[in-house]
Amino acid sequence: MKLSKSFIKTLRDAPKDETARNGALLTRAGYVHKEMAGVYDFLPLGLRVIENIKNIIREELNKLDCQEIQMSALQNPEPWEKTGRFSDQEVDIWFKTELSSGGVLGLAPTHEEPITNMLKSYISSYKDLPLSVYQFQTKFRNELRAKSGILRGREFLMKDLYSFHTSEEDLNDFYAKVEGAYDRIFNRLGIGDETFETFASGGIFSKYSHEYQTFLPVGEDTVYYNADKSVVLNKEVYNDEVLADLGVTGENFKETTAAEVGNIFKLKFKYSEPLGLKFVDESNSMREVYMGCYGIGVSRVMGVIAEKFADDKGLVWPKEVAPYQYYLVAIGTEGTRVADEIYAGNEEKILFDDRDVRPGEKFADADLMGIPERIVISDKTLAEGAVEIADRKSGETKLISLDELKNLLTR
């Protein structure tokens, strides 16, 4: 992309109503635009980050033969009434709206009910199972507080995966595979070292469900971890009984804050029973389908990465998430000629700052936008056959030959 052709503008200061650091930096760097509290637009750079996150998740889930779908955001109350979850007393974050022809609809806060209901049309026999489907969807939740930038939206993007099985063992096997996929996903997202599978309440056969918590100073959750971080517990389950159950003692546990980037649940019959999702087994009896559900907060993950790696100059994106790999700056006549040549054919990798502004301003924006490598092609270094490449994360700058640069770009 050429910056001269883009409508985005970087800002020296964040808007006054943006108190969260992720929201402030992402706004200043031109990744998002705030519509109102908890509601954001994703601009070209921000959308590329979202797409990169989605693609990592998609690749890892497709390896487990999960099938991607997209369900509707508008919700028919009927299946939700069968589980009691259309009630505002039961679920206090609904956005609801009225049909002009009469009747109420909901805006989906999640999709367990509609997916279970929908699959009644496709699952009838043990031969149809196991099955797993996922989507990337906008969810709507009337959250009481939405002050954490894109970490907590009233409209946000989630990946939700649902799995369907004939037996508890098969659900357990698949659940373990999803745990493996989640490890790979969070590693590729660059937050693997600081993201922990965390015991939480809400388990249906087992006592626990699992959350994926990324340690983060501004995280809204409190978690407890032991010395080697092999056991991490959510606040709700941090008590003597649970510690004893897990065979650990509480003495060495420390408290920290974290952001929940995902969670996984064995639902058993929680939805299949009230919604009547059944299958005929090998001996011709009707049985309820075992279910699991597995979420990742796609837009929250983007906010967590922004918060986690930012420094005093701006954002710092891990390579697999970055909207572009290289930020290109040309200085001088020959510098510009060579930069044009380098850019041609590499438009997907390079963000070319070809604006008519001072190099200093370009360098500041390169830092603010957090592009992993900055390339400067100037008459001065070209005279020695070299170009400058600077690593955003380490700040390390070095000279490489034009050939080396061309080589890098073919990778």
Cβ proximity to ligand ATP: between 136 and 327 the closer is 136
Cβ proximity to ligand ATP: between 152 and 308 the closer is 152
Question: CA neighbours within 13 Å on the CB side: how many for 327?
Answer: 27
Cβ proximity to ligand ATP: between 31 and 352 the closer is 31
With vertex at residue 31, the alpha carbon angle to CA 29 and CA 33, rounded to the nearest 5 degrees, is 105
User: Is residue 196 part of the contact set for ligand ATP (CB under 6 A)?
Assistant: no
Work out the widest C-alpha separation in the chain, in whole angstroms.
81
What is the H or E stretch that residue 97 is in?
Answer: strand 95-98
Instruction: Report, in Å, the least distance between residue 66 CB and ligand ATP.
Output: 16
Cβ proximity to ligand ATP: between 267 and 339 the closer is 267
How crowded is residue 73: how many other Cβ atoms within 10 Å of its Cβ?
15
User: Is residue 295 part of the contact set for ligand ATP (CB under 6 A)?
Assistant: yes
Instruction: Report, in Å, the least distance between residue 152 CB and ligand ATP.
Output: 4
Angstrom distance (rounded) from CA 323 to CA 321: 6
Instruction: Report, in Å, the least distance between residue 83 CB and ligand ATP.
Output: 15
Task: Kindly write out the interface string for residues 232-261 of this chain, putting x where it contacts ligand ATP by CB under 6 A and - elsewhere.
Answer: ----------------------------xx
User: Is residue 209 part of the contact set for ligand ATP (CB under 6 A)?
Assistant: no
Question: CA neighbours within 13 Å on the CB side: how many for 78?
Answer: 7
Instruction: Report, in Å, the least distance between residue 320 CB and ligand ATP.
Output: 19
Instruction: Report, in Å, the least distance between residue 319 CB and ligand ATP.
Output: 22
| Residue of the chain from 134, 156, 186, 225 that contacts ligand ATP (CB under 6 A) | 156
Instruction: Report, in Å, the least distance between residue 366 CB and ligand ATP.
Output: 29
User: Is residue 294 part of the contact set for ligand ATP (CB under 6 A)?
Assistant: no
For residue 386, list its beta bridge partners. Answer: 401
250: CB partners within 8 A, 6+ apart: 238, 240, 243
Which residue, judged by CB position, is nearest to ligand ATP in the bound state? Answer: 297
Tokens of 277: 């999702």
Cβ proximity to ligand ATP: between 112 and 388 the closer is 112
User: Is residue 188 part of the contact set for ligand ATP (CB under 6 A)?
Assistant: no
CB 326 within 8 A of CB 339: no
Among the listed ranges 280-288, 293-301, 385-393, 403-411, the one in contact with ligand ATP (CB under 6 A) is: 293-301
User: Is residue 143 part of the contact set for ligand ATP (CB under 6 A)?
Assistant: yes
Based on DSSP, count helices (H) and strands (E) in the chain, helices before strands: 12, 21
117: CB partners within 8 A, 6+ apart: 78, 79, 275, 277
Helix 168-188 with 44-62: angle, nearest 10 deg: 140
Cβ proximity to ligand ATP: between 302 and 339 the closer is 302
User: Is residue 307 part of the contact set for ligand ATP (CB under 6 A)?
Assistant: no
Cβ proximity to ligand ATP: between 297 and 370 the closer is 297
Instruction: Report, in Å, the least distance between residue 385 CB and ligand ATP.
Output: 49
Instruction: Report, in Å, the least distance between residue 33 CB and ligand ATP.
Output: 17
What is the H or E stretch that residue 350 is in?
Answer: strand 350-352
DSSP 24-75: HHHHHTTSEEEEETTEEEE-HHHHHHHHHHHHHHHHHHHTTT-EE----SEE
DSSP 268-290: ETTTHHHHT-EEE-TTS-EEEPE
Query: Between residue 308 and residue 367, which ones bind ligand ATP under the rule CB under 6 A?
Result: none
Count interface residues toward ligand ATP (CB under 6 A). Answer: 15
User: Is residue 106 part of the contact set for ligand ATP (CB under 6 A)?
Assistant: no
User: Is residue 158 part of the contact set for ligand ATP (CB under 6 A)?
Assistant: yes
Cβ proximity to ligand ATP: between 161 and 231 the closer is 161
For residues 356-378, b (16+ Cβ closer than 10 Å) or e, as one string?
A: eeeeeebbbbbbbbbbbbbbbbb
Residues that bind ligand ATP (CB under 6 A): 110, 141, 143, 152-153, 156, 158, 260-263, 295, 297, 299-300
